[in-house]
Amino acid sequence: MSVHIFKYGQREIDHLKRRDKKLGAAMETIGKITREIRPDPFEALVMGIVAQQISSKAASAIRKRLHTLLGEITPHRVAETDMSAMRECGLSARKAEYIKGTADAAIRGEIDFARFHEMADVEIIDQLSSLRGVGVWTAEMILLFSLSRPDVVSWGDQAIRRGMMNLYGLKNLTKEQFDRFRKRYSPYGSVASLYLWALSGM
């Protein structure tokens, strides 16, 4: 299985360094960041639901078992699979229901994952967050780590907020401050997000 990476280059790096000296200095120190993406948005959403509120190690183990069970992660494969078999992969009953519901919505045509590539970010967020078990944060992660949208900086992501606070030496971060930084990074906020995640643990 080939690995897909979030692509960015000198144009994005130069823009962010020019717009924000502190972020630019941090980028220089950290160097190029490699983050894997899942180009299929349905699969990415299923894996995103799996990862909610559990450790990355636990999520990875469940994902492997789901891949073994389903083979390809598609709406029809999920719909055909018994709920108890999905539970045996380590999923909670609630998460198994959310994944089944997402597959059903795709099969009924309520969510057209194939059209996401031509839809605006806000439309995708609206569609995905109408699903049970999918909030704005999960939808924003699909924009970034499946569709490679260039300008995603999520207020709902604690690590991104922590990264901002570490970068600018802030004890608290208001929504107004966050929005000011986000506008500064635009139109390459997604690359800034990669570095803010890296800074969140420092």
Among all residues, which ones are annotated catalytic?
A: 157
Residue with tokens 């260039």: 150
Q: Hey, which residues does 37 pair with through a beta bridge? A: 4
Q: Hey, which residues does 4 pair with through a beta bridge? A: 37
Q: Hey, which residues does 36 pair with through a beta bridge? A: 5
Contact 192/16 with Cβ under 8 angstroms?
yes
Parallel/antiparallel/unpaired status of strands 4-5 and 36-37:
antiparallel
Prior bond to 187 cis, omega within 30? yes
Q: Which of 194, 166, 164 is nearest to 179 (CA)?
A: 164
Contact 42/75 with Cβ under 8 angstroms?
yes
The Cα–Cα gap between 17 and 188 comes to 11
| Residues in CB range of 35: below 8 A, 6 or more apart | 5, 6, 145, 194
